[in-house]
């Protein structure tokens, strides 16, 4: 009987840590008890704040210039269903931030330097597709970086690269290599 009780307690401690990781492109509406700006614009700061707050069960983060001019974190007293929303990253307590990992698109990666040119875009692009298309169309372009609005400009910006530079982790950007 003691072994069975010990096993149940151990499972109770393990199961919460197996929760789904936070994901880019989702929001959790409702259950808010605290809202604050994040100057760095990094969703990992929001996730870490939830971890340190015993009342927090889930969180949502919006990138700058989406829900408001600044990056914002909402801590939640309950876990609400996640909904597709390109503005946001959300998760439950105990989950880290993960970016979509598909194909040649590098989420939260900046490739600094090697610029051929840059240009501003008229509208946000949640996966950098317009920036990648511009790079594909320009023969000298080898890589690209899309900068979300609110990080270096009030509008989104696309940098086309003449050489492939080292990737650097930054929440502002989406990058890729095409040649």
d(C-alpha 122, C-alpha 132), whole Å = 15
Evaluate whether 98 touches 26 at the Cβ level (below 8 Å): no
At residue 18, the 3 state secondary structure works out as: helix
Strand partners, 177: 143
Is the per-residue pLDDT at 58 higher than 80?
yes
Confidence at residue 96, expressed as pLDDT on a 0 to 100 scale: 67
CATH architecture of 105-177: 3-Layer(bba) Sandwich (3.50)
Domain locations in the chain? 20-98, 105-177
Confidence at residue 23, expressed as pLDDT on a 0 to 100 scale: 76
Query: What letter would DSSP give residue 156?
Result: -
Check: pTM over 0.75? Answer yes or no. no
Strand partners, 147: 157, 173
Q: Which residues does 134 contact at the CB level (< 8 Å), separation at least 6?
A: 119, 141, 144, 158, 160
d(C-alpha 99, C-alpha 158), whole Å = 20
Q: C-alpha distances in angstroms, 104 versus 101, 127, 132, 157, 177?
A: 9, 11, 10, 19, 7
Evaluate whether 163 touches 118 at the Cβ level (below 8 Å): no
Name the fold adopted by 20-98.
Hepatocyte Growth Factor (3.50.4)
Confidence at residue 4, expressed as pLDDT on a 0 to 100 scale: 39
The vertex-152 CA angle with 172 and 24, nearest 5°, equals 20
Of 17, 13, 15, 20, residue with least CA distance to 91: 20
Segment 63-116, tens digit of pLDDT: 998 878 899 999 999 999 999 998 899 999 987 676 666 568 998 899 999 999
Segment 35-56, tens digit of pLDDT: 999 999 999 899 999 999 999 9
Q: pLDDT-derived band of residue 21, with 50, 70 and 90 as boundaries?
A: low
Is the per-residue pLDDT at 149 higher than 70?
yes
At residue 44, the 3 state secondary structure works out as: helix
d(C-alpha 136, C-alpha 143), whole Å = 9
Confidence at residue 19, expressed as pLDDT on a 0 to 100 scale: 44
d(C-alpha 158, C-alpha 131), whole Å = 6
Confidence at residue 13, expressed as pLDDT on a 0 to 100 scale: 34
Confidence at residue 69, expressed as pLDDT on a 0 to 100 scale: 87
């Amino acid at each position: 009987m003691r072994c069975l009780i010990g096993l149940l307690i151990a499972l109770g401690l393990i199961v919460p840590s197996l929760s789904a990781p936070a994901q880019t492109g989702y929001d959790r509406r409702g259950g808010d008890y605290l809202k604050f700006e994040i100057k760095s614009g990094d969703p990992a700061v929001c996730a870490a704040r939830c971890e340190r707050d015993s009342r927090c069960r889930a969180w949502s983060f919006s990138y700058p210039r989406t829900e408001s001019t600044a990056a914002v974190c909402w801590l939640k007293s309950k876990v609400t269903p996640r909904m597709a929303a390109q503005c946001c990253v959300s998760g439950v307590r105990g989950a880290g931030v993960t970016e979509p990992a598909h194909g040649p698109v590098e989420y939260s990666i900046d490739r600094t330097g090697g610029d051929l040119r840059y240009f501003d875009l008229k509208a946000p692009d949640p996966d950098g597709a317009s920036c990648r298309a511009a790079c594909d169309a320009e023969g000298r372009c080898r890589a690209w970086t899309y900068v979300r609005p609110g990080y270096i400009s009030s509008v989104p910006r696309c940098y086309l690269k003449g050489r492939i530079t080292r990737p650097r982790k930054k929440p502002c950007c989406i990058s890729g290599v095409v040649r």
